[in-house]
């Protein structure tokens, strides 16, 4: 007996070790075994197996093998560290390297087969197990889903636009193949909840005798795609059985797609066909698009890194035609009505259009701002084939234009707003167009209603928005979120009148947060299915609380907490100290879950995650459901599940949101009161996403995921049709009435809705969930909100704000003879109440009183005070008060031209004018009627474009002597000019209105002068470098006339000539290059000037000695110039001679002081007398003893010898000082001089002429 036990034990241990080694080697998975106290095989129905069925979050793997607690901890920690990339084209994957031992054989079989099908009979005996969960992200599974996503609009203000995203751009499922990467979009709340798993012994509390409920399902493996980490899934819907799936491998290191596969199913996902051969075996696909108007039209984009082309299918992806593109597509915009019209935006900011579903493309416009192009809307725009565009004009300025679809030439362009707008600010949404205009250094928001004239948006007077975001434009009303000047992490909600012009406060301090891709997320959720219901999270006394409104923001109140918890225990929660608070973030991905979900097909039903208590937290999160639009709530789960709508809201499907593989889902047929558990696969699956048919018309759902870390994509099709026995009849429905805490008149009407009775397992039809509305309710004070300029008081009444003057007459009087005088109230735009107190609160129409014109305003259309000569400038004349029809307007342009209009209504689009000369013009506007007048002035600076600035300064100046600096502008007349002078490294410039300045340098050396010239919005500059010395010699040079014919008048040419002349002088005379500077002057005739400066190494000796030495060098150069030894070859056959001239093009020092003139005269007289004395001595030198004399022959002989001797080059150990000084002074010096001769008698000149080239 002992031997048998030992043998059994030995075989048990050996078998266990063999299985562990095998499973660890194959698939890199974790082996899971269970210790059985006998040599028998484990029995799934045994009492021991029943024990493992109650292990809470790990219930999906309970019957497959043992998973100890440490293994679970490792798995969860590994999951938290794994990578997750979630965006509008990605789906979360829950990676894990776990794999059950019992599934190993099945998965090996799946590698050999493409499909696993199981048609399993549903057992009628059902068992309900309650589950616990910590958090829910409600999933959305339709092709259209509502989100709040930010569009950069209204300029620097970023706009959140409430939109419906079409299936034309299908989201992507992403699953990471790396185990240790940070999840980029995982929030702190989700990290806290995902780590809070706990054991629950009741989750799998099925008795051994009970059978597991199973769903009809089939599994298909996308063979060969195990390395792919992204997927895009599209279900055509509309009773179509076609499903397309694009899988690809995205290389994060290179940022490109390296592999792709296209799959197609025609049987609702039972089987799939791989279409790589049809689209091209080497073709790499990047995106999948579907026409929103015709689901049969499919468009695939290739990866632009490989090729730029698209594939078009007109038969739901059965066949494709490839078309090459001449540009790389960045985004596509389909027309909302015309199925073949598409706009394509390229990487180089160009917009293209196709009217043949991508087969041919035509350039529309260049320099288009990203995401700022819109299709025209039928009934609002003049023509259906128009496009709204925002184009970049220059840095900081854009323009709003409209043009025809296939002819966007200058002649066919229109400018709905005549001036410039702030970049990235155009939003065209429904009846409204929003822009942002710079006026006097501030950003002003403008709005156009029904494509009429633009007017400034009127917020409460002292609202100074840092950011403005458009939330919604439904029901002819704008909902906007404004971040005021004192807010950082919150926004205020405002609602407008029908024209979107006047805004009033709806809710303060709404929570905001940063979203993916730098989005701003506002905690505001619009409930689908019932108009006017919003949920919002508001900061109140440093706590975040959830509020609900049933009348589009007029009244808000806290949510009532459930009366009992999940276990039936009473909940002690009394408002306002305790209430229900919800997380309101909506998933932008249709395959992953968000925090809250509601459907048009199930009005009144909301599923959300939240907490009960004094404020919203991320701890102890549960799932709550309401069936009466938020009046009462029920807690349904305490752990994280995704809840989906089935049968148009007639049933709910819940799937565990866990990093572990699952094989069960939960169904409810009574609005979440009871839940039944069903298995949908025989092997646990890591769920990546869930896809339902768009519109929820069918009862088929696809769950896609993978069995292990290395397995292919697995598509599990679940068919719920076997659960629903028949079609619903009238007897299957019940009615319920919408109310707000018992008040049934909401938004001026009573609304009654239908919903299925509990456990009515029948199939709903689309016409069976519509609401039945009763007669309109009589109007009461609750149907009115406060008008612009009025604020709601604590007693509920509307009173004027301190800044508002109620007696002011409406702007309607400017263009009409009557106006509506407000009572402080205005009826909500979508409110349908009738009679009752309507007359008491509604504004009363009154005849406009006769008034003198007041508040006349004159501005340019772009909000600036400058205009460009020769171009149109538009003036806008606005009148705050006065009878516009009887008030004449006169506009004087200040250039001798004036124009008059009989009334102001004829100049709503502005007045255009062209100025032909530059200058400052006084523009005036005058308004006049029989009661008085008003006048306004505007000083307009008309300029022309400044093309070039040239600073004129001498190359060398005298120390402590003023030097004149001047500028030359091209063109010379450009209008009002401001000059900024910068000397060396001074931080404060010298500002002048004249183009010249006098400056004195007090230190020797090299000094830099910079002048900046400002004309309008143009700022140009030029720079010169001057050398400052106390002693130097200079002389003006002239050139032979042939050089003028070849002078192009550019600075580089003058620099080259200066360099050649200097090199010639160095070669001929032997003077060091560091002591010689040459500068050629601009203009004709061509002239230059040379400078001889003190030797850099010479520091000893008297100033008189230095001056004598410079005189000697000057005589040497003048001698060479006079003998025509300084010459060079400009081009073959063209030799240029350089001469010395006594003309001086400009004074080196300031001679404005008259005292210097007298001293100069005395000096000249002294020189003349000294010359006469020397002449007398020379004439009588032979008669004066002791004076040595030279014969005339000797003098002539010396002159003959000088030009025949070539100079000797002497190396210069030091660099030349003047090179830097002349860099910006039209000269370029040699790095070293050729030689230095200390005294005049030793100088020997060369007559060799150097060449320029």
Q: Report DSSP state, residue 957.
A: E
Give the pLDDT mean for 453-475: 90
**What pLDDT is stored for residue 495 in this prediction?**
95
**Which has more pLDDT, 467 or 863?**
467
- Residue 58 is predicted with a pLDDT of 31
Point out the least confidently predicted range of 122-131, 297-306, 601-610, 849-858: 122-131
User: Residue 451: is its pLDDT beyond 60?
Assistant: yes
pLDDT of residue 839: 78
Residue bearing tokens 């709404």: 510
Best mean pLDDT range from 582-591, 986-995, 1207-1216, 1232-1241 = 986-995
Which of the four pLDDT bands, split at 50, 70 and 90, describes residue 378?
confident
Top-confidence residue, 1101 or 1009: 1009
Contacts 24+ apart (CB under 8 A), 1187-1190: none
> Which position has the higher pLDDT, 282 or 170?
282
pLDDT, one tens digit per residue, over 994-1008 is 899 999 998 888 899
Is the pLDDT score of 81 beyond 70?
no
Confidence of residue 446 (pLDDT cuts 50, 70, 90): very high
Residue among 399, 477, 491, 420 nearest 157 (CA): 491
What's 837's DSSP letter?
T
**Separation between Cα atoms, residue 1168 and residue 1163, nearest integer Å:** 9
Question: Residue 705: which H helix or E strand, with range?
Answer: strand 700-706
Task: Kindly tell me if the per-residue pLDDT of 1124 is higher than 50.
Answer: yes
Tokens 């060396």 locate to: 984
Pair 170, 234: CB distance under 8 Å: yes
What pLDDT is attached to residue 419? 80
Q: What is the DSSP string of 819-831?
A: EEE--SEEE-TT-
DSSP 1115-1135: HHHHHHHHTT--EEEEETTEE
Strands 726-727 and 713-719: unpaired
User: In 561-597, which positions are buried (b, 16+ CB within 10 angstroms) versus exposed (e)?
Assistant: bbeeebeeeeeebeeeebbbbbbbbbbbbbbbbbbbb
Q: What is the mean pLDDT of residues 177-204?
A: 31
Q: What percent of the chain has pLDDT over 70?
A: 70
Q: Looking at the predicted structure, is the pLDDT value of residue 163 above 50? A: no
The 10 Å Cβ neighbour count of residue 958 is 17
User: Which of these ranges, 26-40, 306-320, 475-489, 843-857, has the smallest mean pLDDT?
Assistant: 26-40
- Phi and psi of 870, rounded to 5°? 85, 0
Comparing 719 with 76, the larger pLDDT belongs to 719
Residues, the chain, total?
1253
3-state secondary structure (DSSP) of residue 1150: coil
Token pair listed for 555: 């009244």
Which tokens hold the place of 382? 């003049």
For residues 420 and 397, what is the distance between their CA atoms, to the nearest angstrom? 6
pLDDT at 837: 78
Is the pLDDT at 1118 greater than 70? The verdict is yes
> What mean pLDDT comes out for the span 146-152?
30
- Residue 607 confidence (pLDDT): 94
Q: Given this model, what pLDDT does residue 811 score? A: 60
Query: Is the link from the previous residue into 971 a cis peptide, with omega within 30 of 0?
Result: yes
CA distance 292 to 862: 38
**Mean pLDDT, rounded, for 27-32:** 34
> What are phi and psi for residue 688, nearest 5 degrees?
-100, -30
Q: What percent of the chain has pLDDT over 90?
A: 32
d(CA 667, CA 654): 6
Mean pLDDT of 1213-1217: 36
Give 1224 or 936, the one with higher predicted confidence. 936
Average pLDDT over all residues of the chain: 74
Asked if residue 443 has pLDDT above 60, the reply is yes
Residue 1171 pLDDT: 62
Instruction: For residue 274, name the pLDDT band (cuts at 50, 70, 90).
Output: very high
Helices H / strands E in the chain, number of each: 13, 81
Of 447, 435, 292, 304, give the one whose Cα is nearest residue 372: 435
- How confident is the model over 412-431, as pLDDT tens digits? 888 898 788 999 999 999 99
**Residue 1165 scores a pLDDT above 90:** no
Q: What is the pLDDT of residue 657?
A: 81
Would you state the structure tokens that stand for residue 906, as one six-digit string?
Answer: 């004829």
Q: What is the 3-state secondary structure (H, E, C) of 195-223?
A: CCCCCCCCCCCCCCCCCCCECEEEEEEEC
Number of C-beta neighbours around residue 1246 at 10 A: 18
Task: Provide the pLDDT for residue 973.
Answer: 84
Secondary structure element (H or E) that encloses residue 147, with its range = strand 145-151
Q: What is the CA radius of gyration of the chain?
A: 44
Looking at residues 1047-1059, what average pLDDT do you find? 89
**DSSP-derived secondary structure letter, 1043:** G
pLDDT band at 332 (very low <50, low <70, confident <90, very high): very high
Query: In terms of pLDDT, which residue wins out, 193 or 225?
Result: 225
**How remote is the C-alpha of 481 from its chain's centroid?**
18
Q: Which helix (H) or strand (E) holds 857?
A: strand 854-860
Per the listing, tokens 């789960």 go with 637
What is the rounded CA–CA span in Å between residue 552 and residue 972?
62
In Å, the largest CA–CA distance within the chain is 158
> Is the per-residue pLDDT at 889 higher than 60?
yes
Do residues 861 and 897 make contact, with C-beta atoms less than 8 angstroms apart?
Answer: no
Flag whether pLDDT at 27 surpasses 70: no
Q: What is the DSSP letter of 712?
A: P
Strongest mean pLDDT among 94-98, 407-411, 870-874: 870-874
Its pTM stands at 0.65
Q: 988 or 1218: whose pLDDT is higher?
A: 988
Q: Report how far residue 943's alpha carbon sits from residue 1016's, in angstroms, rounded to the nearest whole number.
A: 7
Alpha-carbon separation of residue 524 from 594, 634, 897 (angstroms): 14, 22, 55
| SS3 state at 1029 | strand
* Residue 478, C-beta contacts closer than 8 angstroms, at least 6 positions apart: 432, 447, 470, 472, 495, 496, 500, 503
Q: CA-to-CA distance for 181 and 79, rounded, in angstroms?
A: 10
């Amino acid at each position: 007996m002992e031997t048998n036990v030992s043998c059994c034990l030995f075989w048990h241990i050996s078998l266990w070790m063999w299985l562990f080694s095998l499973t660890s080697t194959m698939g890199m998975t974790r082996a899971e075994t269970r210790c059985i106290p006998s040599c028998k095989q484990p029995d799934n129905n045994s009492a021991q197996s029943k024990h493992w069925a109650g292990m809470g979050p790990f219930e999906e793997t309970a019957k497959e093998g043992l998973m100890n607690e440490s293994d679970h901890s490792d798995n969860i920690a590994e999951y938290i560290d794994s990578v997750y990339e979630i965006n509008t084209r990605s789906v979360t994957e829950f990676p894990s390297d776990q794999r059950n031992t019992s599934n190993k054989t099945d998965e090996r079989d799946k590698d050999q087969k493409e499909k696993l099908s199981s048609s399993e009979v549903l057992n009628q005996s059902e068992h309900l197990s309650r589950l616990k969960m910590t958090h829910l992200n409600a999933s959305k599974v339709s092709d259209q889903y509502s989100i709040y996503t930010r569009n950069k609009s209204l300029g620097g203000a970023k706009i959140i636009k409430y939109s419906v995203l079409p299936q034309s751009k299908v989201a992507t499922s992403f699953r990471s193949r790396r185990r240790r990467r940070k999840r980029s979009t995982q929030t702190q709340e989700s990290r806290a909840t995902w780590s809070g798993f706990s054991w629950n012994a009741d989750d799998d509390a099925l008795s051994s005798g009970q059978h597991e409920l199973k769903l009809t399902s089939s599994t298909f493996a996308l063979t060969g795609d195990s390395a792919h980490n992204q997927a895009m899934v599209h279900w055509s819907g509309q009773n179509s059985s076609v499903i397309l799936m694009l899988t690809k491998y995205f290389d994060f290191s290179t940022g490109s797609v390296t592999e792709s596969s296209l799959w197609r199913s025609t049987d609702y996902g039972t089987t799939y066909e791989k279409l790589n051969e049809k689209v091209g075996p080497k073709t790499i696909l990047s995106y999948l698009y579907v026409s929103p108007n015709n689901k049969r039209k499919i468009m695939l984009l290739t990866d632009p890194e490989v090729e730029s082309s698209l594939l078009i299918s007109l038969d739901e992806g059965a066949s494709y035609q490839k078309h090459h593109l001449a540009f790389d597509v960045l985004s596509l915009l389909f027309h909302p009505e015309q199925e073949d019209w598409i706009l394509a935006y390229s990487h180089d900011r160009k917009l293209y259009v196709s009217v043949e579903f991508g087969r041919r493309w035509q350039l529309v416009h260049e320099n288009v701002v990203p995401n700022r192009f819109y299709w025209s809307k039928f009934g609002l725009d003049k023509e259906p084939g128009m496009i709204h565009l925002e184009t970049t004009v220059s840095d900081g300025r854009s323009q709003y234009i409209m043009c025809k679809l296939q002819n966007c030439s200058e002649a066919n362009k229109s400018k709905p707003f005549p001036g410039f707008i702030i970049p990235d600010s155009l939003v065209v949404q429904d009846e409204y167009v929003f822009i942002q205009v710079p006026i006097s250094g501030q950003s002003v928001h403008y709005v156009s209603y029904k494509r009429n004239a633009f007017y400034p948006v009127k917020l409460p007077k002292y609202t100074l928005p840092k950011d403005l975001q458009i939330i919604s434009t439904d029901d002819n009303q704008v909902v906007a979120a404004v971040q005021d000047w004192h807010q950082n992490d919150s926004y205020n909600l405002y609602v407008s009148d029908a024209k979107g012009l006047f805004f009033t406060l709806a809710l303060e301090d709404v929570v905001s947060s940063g979203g993916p891709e730098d989005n701003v997320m506002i905690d505001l959720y619009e409930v689908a299915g019932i108009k006017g219901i919003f949920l919002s999270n508001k900061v109140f006394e440093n706590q975040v609380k959830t509020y609900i409104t049933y009348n589009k923001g007029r009244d808000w109140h806290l949510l009532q907490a459930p009366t009992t918890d999940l276990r039936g225990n009473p909940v002690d929660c009394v408002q306002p100290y305790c209430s229900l608070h919800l997380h309101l973030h909506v998933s932008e991905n249709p395959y992953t879950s968000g925090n809250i979900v509601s459907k048009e097909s199930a009005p009144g039903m909301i599923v959300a995650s939240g907490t009960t208590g004094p404020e919203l937290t991320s701890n102890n999160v549960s799932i709550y459901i309401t069936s009466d639009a938020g009046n009462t709530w029920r807690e349904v789960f305490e752990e994280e599940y995704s809840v989906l709508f089935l049968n148009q809201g007639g049933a709910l499907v819940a799937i565990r949101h866990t990093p572990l593989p699952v094989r069960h889902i939960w169904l409810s047929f009574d609005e979440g009161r009871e839940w039944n558990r069903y298995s949908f696969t025989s092997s646990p699956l890591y769920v990546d996403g869930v896809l339902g048919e768009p519109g929820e018309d069918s009862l088929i759902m696809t769950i896609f995921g993978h069995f292990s870390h290395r397995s292919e994509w697995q598509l599990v099709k679940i068919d719920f049709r076997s659960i629903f026995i028949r079609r619903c009849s009238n007897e299957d429905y019940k009615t319920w009435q919408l109310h707000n805490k018992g008040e049934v008149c909401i938004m001026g009407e009573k609304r009654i809705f239908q919903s299925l009775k509990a456990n009515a397992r029948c199939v709903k039809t689309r016409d069976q969930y519509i609401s039945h509305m009763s007669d309109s309710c009589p109007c009461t004070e609750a149907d009115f909100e406060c008008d612009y300029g009025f604020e709601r008081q604590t007693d509920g009444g509307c009173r004027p704000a301190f800044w508002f003057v109620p007696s002011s007459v409406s702007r309607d009087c400017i263009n009409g003879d009557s106006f509506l005088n407000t009572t402080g109230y205005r009826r909500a735009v979508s409110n349908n109440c009738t009679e009752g107190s309507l007359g008491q609160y509604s504004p009363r129409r009154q005849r406009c009183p006769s008034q003198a014109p007041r508040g006349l305003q004159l501005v340019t259309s772009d909000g600036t005070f400058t205009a460009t000569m020769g171009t149109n400038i538009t003036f806008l004349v606005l009148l705050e008060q006065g009878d516009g029809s009887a008030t004449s307007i006169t506009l004087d342009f200040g250039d001798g031209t004036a124009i008059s209009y009989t009334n102001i209504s004829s100049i709503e689009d502005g007045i255009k004018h062209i100025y032909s000369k530059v200058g400052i013009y006084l523009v005036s506007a005058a308004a006049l009627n029989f009661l008085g007048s008003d006048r306004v002035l505007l000083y307009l600076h008309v300029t022309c474009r400044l093309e070039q600035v040239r600073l004129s300064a001498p190359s060398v100046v005298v120390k402590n002597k003023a030097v004149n600096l001047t500028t030359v502008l091209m063109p010379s007349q450009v209008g009002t000019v401001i000059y900024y002078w910068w000397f060396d490294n001074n931080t404060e410039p010298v500002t002048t209105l004249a183009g010249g300045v006098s400056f004195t340098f007090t230190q020797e050396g090299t000094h830099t002068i910079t002048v900046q010239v400002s004309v309008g919005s143009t700022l140009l500059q030029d720079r010169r470098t001057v050398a400052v010395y106390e002693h130097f010699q200079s002389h003006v040079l002239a050139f032979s006339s042939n050089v003028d014919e070849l002078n192009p008048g550019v600075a580089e040419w003058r620099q080259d000539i200066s360099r050649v002349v200097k090199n010639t002088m160095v070669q001929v005379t032997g003077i060091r290059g560091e002591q010689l500077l040459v500068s050629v002057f601009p203009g004709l005739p061509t002239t230059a000037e040379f400078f001889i400066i003190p030797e850099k190494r010479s520091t000893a000796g008297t100033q008189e000695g230095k001056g004598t030495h410079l005189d000697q060098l000057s005589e040497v150069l003048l001698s060479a110039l006079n003998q025509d030894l300084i010459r060079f070859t400009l081009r073959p056959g063209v030799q240029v001679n350089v001469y010395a001239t006594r003309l001086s093009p400009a004074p080196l020092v300031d001679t404005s002081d008259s005292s210097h003139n007298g001293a100069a005269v005395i000096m000249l007289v002294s020189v003349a007398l000294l010359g006469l004395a020397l002449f007398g001595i020379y004439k009588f030198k032979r008669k004066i003893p002791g004076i040595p004399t030279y014969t005339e022959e000797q003098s002539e002989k010396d002159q003959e010898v000088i030009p025949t001797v070539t100079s000797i080059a002497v190396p210069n150990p030091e660099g030349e000082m003047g090179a830097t000084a002349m860099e910006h002074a039209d000269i370029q010096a040699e790095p070293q001089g050729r030689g230095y001769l200390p005294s005049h008698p030793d100088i020997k000149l060369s007559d060799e002429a150097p060449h320029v080239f």
